[in-house]
Amino acid sequence: MDTSEFFKQAEQISDDPYSRIPDHVIPVIKDENNLINVHCHIFNDTIVPKRIFNIKMPYSRRFVGNLATLLHKIIGRSNEDKLSNLAYFISLFKSPTEKIADKLVSYFDKNSIFCPLMMDMLQGRQRIVRDDEWEKYINLQFQDLNKLFKQNPKKYNFLPFIPIDPLNEKVYDIFLKAFNGEYGFKPMGIKIYPSLGYLPSHSVLMNIYKVCQEKNIPITAHCSSGKTRGFRKHVKNIVGWKVNKQGIWTQEPESKWFFSGKSYANYFNNPKNWEKVLEAYPKLKLNFGHFGGEYQWNKLLKGKNNTWVSRIMGYFARYENVYADISFTNAYPNLFPLIKDRLLSSSLVFERTLYGLDYYMVVVRGHYRSLKIDFDVAMGEKIIAKIGKENPRKFLF
Ligand SMILES: [Zn+2]
């Protein structure tokens, strides 16, 4: 589909976020006492392509398959032990979507609302998607969610974010079909995951953001230096805005060598990559997932200058619809005092931080129930009400 056809068809999308949510969730949203968790996942291992060769899910499918059996045999579940946390993560990862969803919901008050973030794991490893693979890994997620909603029409207060990957040649179709409700449900927003191997300022994404800004579609972008990533040592023809050797912003495609997965993730996930996006679309509703991540928060804790955390806060100051969710980063108790201090000392940070815990990725850090309560109690009711109730409503609606 060409760009003009995409824009033409996108005109049909409503700019009213309430048109995208199921009827039974509307009163739940309108009751401002109900919490909104903006960052969680309910997909399972079926979305990870079998022939993985350059993508690193925290735990790849084959690894998971072998390890799960082994770990379950040799250890029970205790909170102390990294391996048992990993075993628990694996057992969830291999569970049916419904089981993962029910478990998530069980940790929260009955009327809580969730934004499950979906994932496109295909393009991190190759550029051409075969139709059968498309059916298997991407469409399957839509079907899975649709089935969940159809079987239990009023059970879940879920507002899904669909995966948008500019390297997927069907991306415009996915976007339009999704927001037209052709998958059986309408998504709330879109998820961008740069470390799968693209810059957030990719020209295809710029076209999509134009529609997002016009239609009030919120975006959550992965922003930490770790987690799932693609990894190709040599990436040719990287499209989008970047700073060249002379320190000047350029759209000249570049080819780059990466000598570690970390440098790869750092290059693609850096919040600086959003500079030109926000310049072009200053009203974009954008959430930086993980708020830069625990590594960057620890740098800030040590008094380091120029962290991703500061970069994101800089965007808060310049752009009215930029947010950051604290998920996964809030599984590190050593960071609680710093997070709380920043929330209470700056009204900007207080207004723009969002609540999430990155279920179920975060269970590698311990029991979910305990991680949740430890964070909630450390922050206190005033902060949780602000970041979990008031702010997400501004971000989503
Ligand atoms: Zn996540």
More confident residue, 105 or 140: 105
DSSP state at residue 196 = G
Domain spanning 3-396, CATH class: alpha beta
* Ligand 1 centre distance from Cα of residue 239 (Å): 25
For residue 286, the model assigns a pLDDT of: 98
The owner of tokens 């579940």 is 77
What confidence tens digit (pLDDT) does each residue in 165-217 have? 998 888 999 999 999 999 999 999 999 999 888 999 999 999 999 999 999 99
DSSP symbol at 138: I
Residue 62 has pLDDT above 90, yes or no: no
Considering just the CA atoms, what is the radius of gyration of the chain in Å?
20
Poorest-pLDDT segment among 39-43, 62-66, 106-110, 158-162: 62-66
CA of 244 to the centre of ligand 1 (A): 30
Statement: residue 79 has pLDDT above 60:
no
Ligand 1 centroid to Cα of residue 22, in Å, is 23
Which pLDDT score, from 0 to 100, does residue 125 have? Answer: 46
> How far apart, in Å, are the Cα atoms of 52 and each of 68, 124, 128, 344, 359?
18, 9, 14, 44, 24
Interval between CA 344 and ligand 1 midpoint (Å): 25
Q: How far, in Å, from the CA of 164 to the mean position of ligand 1?
A: 15
In angstroms, the Cα distances linking 376 to 212, 344, 379 are 32, 15, 5
Q: Is the pLDDT of residue 363 over 90?
A: no
Angle at 149 between CA 145 and CA 151, to 5 degrees: 115
CA–centroid distance, 41 to ligand 1, in Å, is 6
- How many angstroms does the Cα of residue 361 sit away from the middle of ligand 1? 7
Tell me the average pLDDT across 45-55.
Answer: 58
Grouping H, G, I as helix, E, B as strand and the rest as coil, residue 78 is coil
DSSP class per residue in 28-42? HHHSTTS-EEEEE--
* pLDDT, greater one: 162 or 195: 162
Quote the ligand 1 centre to 260 CA distance (angstroms): 22
Angle formed at CA 137 by CA 273 and CA 86, multiple of 5 degrees:
75
- How many angstroms separate the alpha carbon of residue 30 from the centre of ligand 1? 26
| Interval between CA 250 and ligand 1 midpoint (Å) | 30
Q: What number is the average pLDDT over the span 291-296?
A: 95
Residue 292: beta bridge partners? 224
Question: Among residues of the chain, what percentage have pLDDT more than 90?
Answer: 69
If you measure from the C-alpha of residue 131 to the centroid of ligand 1, how many angstroms do you get, rounded to a whole number? Answer: 27
| CA angle 338–305–341, rounded 5-degree value | 15
How confident is the model at residue 262, as a pLDDT? 83
β-strand partners of 257:
234
Distance CA 235, CA 144 (A): 33
358 Cα: distance to centroid of ligand 1 (angstroms): 5
Determine the pLDDT at residue 263: 87
Instruction: Using the predicted structure, report yes or no on whether residue 80 has a pLDDT greater than 60.
Output: no
Listed range (15-19, 31-35, 234-238, 253-257) with the worst mean pLDDT: 234-238
- 52, pLDDT greater than 60: no
Q: Residue 185 C-alpha to ligand 1 middle, in angstroms?
A: 21
CA-CA distance, 100 to 46, in Å (whole number)?
13
